[in-house]
Structure 1
Amino acid sequence: MLNVVLVEPEIPANTGNIGRTCVLTGSRLHLVAPGFDLSERALRRAGLAYWQSLDVRVYEDWQALLLANHDAWAALGGPLSPGGEGGEPAPAMHLLTKRGARRHSDSRYHDGDYLVFGRESTGLDQGLIASHPNLCERIPMVGDAALANAGEWHASHLGLHPELKRDVCGNFVDERSMQVTSLNLSNAVAIVLFEALRQQGYPGLDG
């Protein structure tokens, strides 16, 4: 089972759609301090007929999620480091952010992994990203080449200022010139979740 984590989601309809996707794929949904009432009409409408079947856990904050899920804590380098059963890899954590240097499709997903997404307006906490750049991944999109390349080649070919800074993940960026492309949260979750399921041999996704 894969774990989808939404950290402080803000739009009920997105969470409802993601919940429906989790039900249909047998995934567990973790909600960290959602910015809305879970009984809101927009959420119920988006997840209509599915919400009651959803395996969902709700937490007051990020630390509460880690304390309740020791394998998630271990994936971040916590004191508990459970191994996978039967020689399987221990669950890993995938932090999805536009600042990730690695593409989500270049990662390897295993049963029990955590796919973590931030709030619609600001994404994941910058401190979390800066502390774990090796866990950060991005969905490749048109216009995100600024995160995929670096140095003088980057500046000369993209027409950016040669004095580039590194962001919290170590990417070279010029924030004055870089255009940021983003996806709707429910679309982003679906893209990453289905890639993870494809790698695990989910029926119909092995093409």
Structure 2
Amino acid sequence: MTNHIALFEPLMPANTGNIARTCAGTDTVLHLIRPLGFSLDDKHMKRAGLDYWDKVNVQIHDDLDDFLAAVADPKYLYLITKFSDKIYTDVDYSDTAKDHYFLFGKETTGLPEKFMRENQEKCLRIPMTDNIRALNLSNTCALVIYEVVRQQHFVGMELTHRYQHDKLH
């Protein structure tokens, strides 16, 4: 079982760097769908991801169709958008025998409307007030993937972290 976060045409290197760090912390594959709004060696992206880039499985896709061809089972593909009646916490992600894919849209325009309308049954939303247009992309990715790993009982994750004994004295 593997969880996947896919970013459709991400624009902001700091968001992508933060998302990469979340992927490293949750052992989630990160998919980047071109065109990207930055260079992969952008200093802001590297700084946001800190020194975790070597711990992230990053896959680059030329376009949305290229990414969709890489999805193991389209039944487990979810589109994260504000245009849905289904809430992300209402889905059962506990099947650890399956790969789960979460596709997030571009920071400015989200996912292509035609694509979302054609796949409405895959659309999920995070509840929020109407005071804002959308949540920050990196925060949204963190909310969703941590719900997924919570339902999967944090398999492979460190549940308790202890101070080293000699540092306490």
Which stretch of the first structure deviates more once superposed, 13-22 or 107-116?
107-116
Identity of aligned residues (%): 38
Residue 123 (str. 1) matches residue 124 (str. 2): no
Per the TM alignment, residue 70 of structure 1 is displaced from its structure 2 partner at its CA by 4.6
Query: Residue type of the partner of 2:133?
Result: T
Q: Secondary structure at the match of 1:140?
A: coil
* Residue number in structure 1 paired with 2:60: 58
Instruction: Judge conservation of contact 1:141–1:181 (CA < 8 Å) in 2.
Output: no
Q: Secondary structure at the match of 1:13?
A: helix
Instruction: Tell me, in whole angstroms, the C-alpha distance in 2 between the residues paired with 1:70 and 1:35.
Output: 23
Aligned length in residues: 151
Residue 104 (str. 1) matches residue 88 (str. 2): yes
Instruction: Tell me, in whole angstroms, the C-alpha distance in 2 between the residues paired with 1:180 and 1:187.
Output: 14
Residue 189 (str. 1) matches residue 141 (str. 2): yes
Instruction: Judge conservation of contact 1:103–1:137 (CA < 8 Å) in 2.
Output: yes
TM-score (norm 2): 0.84
Instruction: Judge conservation of contact 2:71–2:101 (CA < 8 Å) in 1.
Output: no
- Which runs of no fewer than 5 residues in structure 2 stay unpaired? 160-169
* Residue number in structure 2 paired with 1:49: 51
Question: Could you give the per-residue CA deviations for residues 62-89 of structure 1, whole angstroms, max 9, x where no partner exists?
Answer: 111122x152xx41xxxxxxxxxxxxxx
Per the TM alignment, residue 108 of structure 1 is displaced from its structure 2 partner at its CA by 1.5
Q: Secondary structure at the match of 1:197?
A: helix
Instruction: Tell me, in whole angstroms, the C-alpha distance in 1 between the residues paired with 2:138 and 2:146.
Output: 12
- Which runs of no fewer than 5 residues in structure 1 stay unpaired? 76-90, 144-178
Runs of 4+ off more than 2 Å: none
Residue 137 (str. 1) matches residue 121 (str. 2): no
Per the TM alignment, residue 181 of structure 1 is displaced from its structure 2 partner at its CA by 3.5
Instruction: Tell me, in whole angstroms, the C-alpha distance in 2 between the residues paired with 1:36 and 1:2.
Output: 25
Change (3 A) 1:197 1:70: closer
Change (3 A) 1:70 1:46: closer
Instruction: Note the 1:1-207 alignment, pairs <5 A.
Output: 1-33=2-34, 34-67=36-69, 69-71=70-72, 74-75=73-74, 92-109=76-93, 110-111=95-96, 112-143=99-130, 180-202=132-154, 204=159
Q: Secondary structure at the match of 1:39?
A: coil
Q: Which has the higher contact order (CA 8 A, sep 6+)?
A: 2
